Structure 1
Amino acid sequence: MNAVMHMRAQTELATIYEISKILTSSLDVSKTCREALNVLANNMGYRRCMIIVDTEEGELHLLAAVGLSPEEYDAGHYRPGEGIIGKVYSNGMPAVVHDLAAEPFFLNRTGALDHIDGERIALAAMPIRVAKEVVGVITIDRVSERAGGGFNDDIRLMTMTASLVGQALALQRTVLAERNQLISESRRLRQELKGRFRLDNVIGVSKRMQDVFAEVHQAGPSRSTVLLRGESGTGKEVIARALHTLSPRKDGPFVKVNCAALTESLLESELFGHEKGSFTGAVGERKGRFEMADKGTLFLDEIGDISPAFQAKLLRVLQEREFERVGGNRSIKVDVRLVFATNRNLEKMVAAGEFRADLYYRINVVSLFLPPLRERREDIPPLIAYFLDRYNKDNGRELRITQEALNVLVNCYWPGNVRELENCVERTATMARGDTINELHFPCQTNRCLTQTLHHVDKDDAVAPVHGHGHGHGGPFEISVPVPELPHRTSAPERLFGEEMPEGEKERLIWAMERSGWVQAKAARLLNITPRQMGYALQKFDIEVRRF
């Protein structure tokens, strides 16, 4: 008898030791409790073991069990005071039932009496406490006629096991409470810092830019087409790169094209590529930007400056996501995310018939409006600090700027936006003598700032005619800019073409220049292209601009 008791004591000690190691191995109490019950059942020969804990809803649910089928496990939920388990939880006292079949309070909810083959099944239940509060119940059931018959040993073992489980639950609940507190604090801080988004290489602490950053973070992960709207110099290309970086295509190529810098024929070849021999000078096959941007992002800047004829070609590509190279007949399909940008008023252009309505609707899926610098003056000081720091690093200087100089820049109009501010900081830093930039270093303080002629003007876009409002103080403002005199000619050269527009591209350029008195801007309007495109085309065909 003593040998049996000694062996059981050794088994209990080994069981408790194993259970303590398991319960302290992880904060996943569902997993560790299930492993602990496995050890308990295997070492002590129990039929079933269960751990039931309370929930936030006030019910009791199974946390872990051994010897139950999935269906029986799903049925393991109780209410406090219901059945034997509910009563043990409510009164905090252990319970022993020698014959479950004869116990009227036993619910048999998990099928403990199923398939017992006439054996008498006993059950022992022990409350689990955290501090002095009952948080659950641990139960075991076994054949009642087992050798040793009594339950004193079982109760002693279950008391120690329940204490260890209670400690594990207490630790888990403490960690969970701290985690919830951290989440709550994080949520509170996010609420306080609501809108404080960041984008790489983009500076913006103002409310207007934070709204833009939020929209970029929202639109970036999708594959939707994005149209960036804003004045020249507001950072549309930087935002386009941010959209690419935030997208699943960030490891793919980011390809950019300035549509305003190319004529229609060059733009078609640039975007779609060309086959060998498709035109004079096409000595080899060449991939276009659409192909180069496959599985990545294609950024088409100045989309409002493309010709009506090319708008139709681009529309088909956007609809089908396929195209043919110039001089080819093989359709090429690409997987490209498109980002467009313009400083033009596309709505007015559509109304005037200068921009196709169907193309407008195709590209205007997600519109992001970038505010001009004068509408987000809070961003000017950090931008100045960034530009000045970069200048100092690049040039080995230690320039700083005074508060008075900073106030001058903050109150400027900045028609060229961030690009103009960057140039102004670099120009002033370059010309500054000494290590300090003060307000007298800026040309505007001595009425030598040429961009003052662009201040306070009405303009639809970067190339539209401007109409002055006068100075901000109410009176008109003027600035004199010396213009060098050009050699005077008494008569214009003889025209090469009549009133009708000729067929060839070079001939059309000369015809437009003749009709506009060799003024490039007027000729560009006649051909419905931008002055930049006009200048590029004149250079391409080596057309000398006549002056008279």
Structure 2
Amino acid sequence: MITEHNSRIEERLQDLSCLYEISKRLASAMDLRDCLERTMGLLSEMKQMENGTVTIINPLTGKLEIEVAYGITAEGRKRGKYKIGEGITGRVVATGEPIIVPHISEEPLFLNRTRSRGDIKEQNRSFLCVPIKHSNNVIGALSIDRVYEDGISEQANTDLQFLTVLSGLIAQTTMRIQAVNQEKEELHTENLKLKRELSQKNRINDIVGNSSRMQDVFEMVHRVVDSNATVLLRGESGTGKTLVAKALHYNGRRKDSPFVVVNCSALPETLLESELFGHEKGAFTGANERKIGRFEQAEGGTLFLDEIGEISNSVQVKLLNVVQERSFQRLGSTKFIECDVRLVAATNRDLESAVREGAFREDLYYRLNVFPVYMPPLRERRTDILLLAEFFLEKFATENKKKIRRISTSAIDMLIQYHWPGNVRELQNCIERAVLICDTDTIKAIHLPPTLQISETRTEDNPLSLTASVENFEKELIIDGLKKNNGNQTKTAKYLDTSLRIINYKIHQYNIDPKKYKI
């Protein structure tokens, strides 16, 4: 009797020790699957409870799915799905009551879907399963296998009590981690919402774009807008570098001071030097009076040097001195003039290559490249093409007093497919031309420049033909009619003054889906 009593005390102490180790891990856990894996591992090591499995109800499917299964393969876990009430695990979840199966080989309800136990007919295993409850609601089940050498005895009931206590800890941990994850998700959603609102709030006037590439540009501009750092705008011609330079000035602290622009490629070396720094009377032939340079004109404001990569070496030297010392001399003068000017430069050249070739001073490059902003070409921000096209359409329709409301589907397709070597500037000119020659309320493919139409329909092996042009025009008219008549083919036939049979035939011929045009 004393020996049996001592044995029970020892088992109780072992249970407490195991629960203590498990509770420590569960209390500090933030990853549900990881902490349950560790828990099932401790059951195997300390309690000889094999195949420890936690099954949770999937709220989307309503089925029981294995969350963690210790010692069971990934394929076995995938197979281990049960309907509520199905098998031993399903019955435990349905009734909320624990079940002991003394011999799984003799139990027809034991489905063994995971196939992790081999041939169960040859095994003398017992299966214990308890519900996982939260506030009297069953959210899943905890099950283990155990081999009892002396057969089912009081030890099985003790184990069932132990698992019931453990299932309570698992339920608390599950709900805690799910609550934390839900809070994180809500914070993430709120953060995205605030970012979108901030993006709208910080949208730069006259710069249109919702693409991720343009959002990066907006963010960079707002980071540097209130600083005095020199900004170098990089990118192909026509990408909007001048607009960004204006945004840096008019959205910053210097907005009430002058914004002065100098196109460095438009002036020869001698005139550029005079334009930038000014000159005294008699400084050179033709200098009949003193001239104030652009640096002085921009005092307190912003000087935008466009095409900075085109300036000569001698002008580069003088510009470097201004950037370093914040002072300069007029041509023909020995007096230094202090200047407080925000410098913004732009170039479409590869300045790094120019530095390697000796065409651009390395020290000036590093002085200018303090805060580079890369303007993406239009072909890398195709999601902005339609947005830009509609912006220009509204602008030029208003300017020319025309009631043009939209751009046709075929014209949109051509705009999206074109590679736009001239970038946004080319798109602007394209839409302005279309507005000027359009006499209806819709910009159609025929109103776009020939370069866009050729890019879509002509190749070396397939030149533009009359038949193709007629088909494109016919398809465009039908789509336009379907849009205006909410996808109704009968009304479209009447609108186009033709028969329903012909409209149906053409819709089939051109593979048009009228359902797409229902509002």
- Give the alignment's TM-score, normalised by structure 1: 0.47
Structure number, greater radius of gyration: 1
Higher helix share: 2
- Give the alignment's TM-score, normalised by structure 2: 0.50
